[in-house]
Each structure stands twice: as C-alpha cells, then as structure tokens.
Amino acid sequence: MERPTWAPQGIDLSVPSVSRIYDYYLGGSHNFEVDREAGRRAIDAFPGLPKVMQANRAFMRRAVRYAVGRGVTQFLDIGSGIPTFGNVHEIAQDADPAAHVVYVDHDPVAVAHSRAVLAGNARAAIAAADLRAPRDILEGEEVGRLLDLRRPVALLLVAVLHFMEDREDPWGAVAELRDALAPGSLLILTHATTDSGPIKPEEGERVEGVYRGVGSPLLMRSHAEVARFFDGFEMVEPGLVAMPMWRPEAPSTGPGGAMGGTDDDPAMYVGFAGVGRKP
C-alpha cells in the first residue's frame, strides 16, 4: 500500500483507526481504505451514522460558544481526532482571540495533522496522550504551557468516552480530571446510546460489532450511565439530552417533528449531549 505524504512514518496502514473512521464519516481526506471499509460496514449497520457525527460536531460548536460567552476561554479537548473545519480553536478564537486550546489524542495521524494545522498558532497545541492516563495529560508540557488550571477550563470529552470499557473505569478518569479543574470549569460531553433516536438495539449491536472488529470497542450507554460522568458538576439547562436538543440555534420539535428535512434528521438524535459546571 502506498503511504500518503501526510501519513507519519511507522503507522500500520492496514489497521483501522477510530479517529480516521470519524474523519471518513465527516467527509475528510485523512483516512485510509481500511478506515473507509470499516466506516462503510458501520454505515451499513446504521445508515444514519454520518448524520450522528454531524450533530455531534454541531453540538460541540454550540457548547464552545456557550463557554466563551460565560467567560471560559481555556479549552482541553481530549480525544480531539483529526482537525476539520470548525474545530474548537477556530470557534473559540473567533469568539475570543485570546482563547487557549490544548487538543489531546493518541492517534499518530491526528497528532501529526493537528501539529500541521496549528503551526504558527501560539495559543493552541496538540498533546500525544490518552484519556486512560489523565495524570499524563494534566502534567504534560502543553497543558502546563497553555492552560492555567487555577482558572476555569472547558473540558471537552466529545464522542470519546464510549470507546472506554467499564473495566477501564471511564468515570474514574473523568473524576480525576474534574478534581484538577478550578471551580467554574465546564464539562462538555457527548456519548453514543440506543436510548434515544431511531436506532434499534440490534442496529447498535451491529455497530458495536464493527468497532470490536477493529480493536476499538464502542459501548452504547444508558442515560443513567452517561449522567454519572457529571457527578460533581451542576448540569446546565436543558440537562443531558439528545444532541440537537441542547440549546439549538433554530427551534426543533424532535425527530420526525414538524420541522423535518435534513436539519432535523431522526438519526441526529442517536446520542446524548450535556454541559456541566463545577461549583
């Protein structure tokens, strides 16, 4: 297989990557055929997946603007993936040019491409680290240089926690990060689920099977299980809801409602979103 010029040396082009599959869903170009094949299998299992990813990104952008509007201008985005148009630093620094952003990912392609995108941006950086090791993130050079943990930080865990199994204690990882943040900090989170939207449990199981097959188990958690991640935070209205229902920029009547059309596709409701504030 020919190695694209943007692909870092040393990565195995035959092994799919969660961040590159996500890039494929969003119509990006930083993915390999092995990623596209896995993505196509997942879409075969649930054809609405690209719409889910679009809703996920739209929520992230709304939540970042909300954070800046509340005076929070430091962002720690863990599991950030491959940068695409409208990423956190673009949204935050458009709202406040002084905003600081640290991205975190363990995928070498995501890290390499992020470094290229962020070259020349003194207020944004990418750290090669993993959510499973919160201390490494918090004590990393990038966080130490760009973020003042004595002041509020917006912690983004967008479409990442469902890739951690219960045995890896994702709730403990979030709690460790929470405890390091100053009062007034925000938790911005999305998580896959079969509790909302049109996805059937058997469709969810098929999607989970695709990700298990590429070595990255995906878990569809319940509303109660996702709500546990907000322990120690005060939920911001409207609470933990389907992604398009969190402070939509245009009114929405929910899946299949009167608005209809591609902007209100029922598939966009497959996943929970919420923002919490540390008191």
Q: Is the pTM of this model over 0.85?
A: yes
Closest by alpha carbon to 79, among 48, 112, 111, 38? 111
* Cross-strand bridge partners of residue 125: 102
Residue 263 phi/psi, 5° resolution? -75, -10
**pLDDT tens for the 279 residues of the chain, in order:** 556 666 666 666 778 888 889 889 888 888 888 999 999 999 999 988 889 989 999 999 999 999 999 999 999 999 999 887 789 999 999 999 999 999 999 988 889 889 988 999 999 999 999 999 999 999 999 999 999 999 999 999 999 999 999 999 999 999 999 999 999 999 999 999 988 778 888 888 999 999 988 888 899 999 999 999 999 999 999 999 999 999 998 655 454 443 333 356 888 888 999 999 999
- Domain limits, the chain: 48-277
Domain 48-277 in this protein, CATH class: alpha beta
Strands (E), 98-227: 100-105, 124-128, 154-158, 186-191
**What is residue 220's DSSP assignment?**
-
Q: What is the rounded distance in angstroms from the CA atom of residue 269 to the CA atom of residue 80?
A: 21
Residue 155 phi/psi, 5° resolution? -95, 115
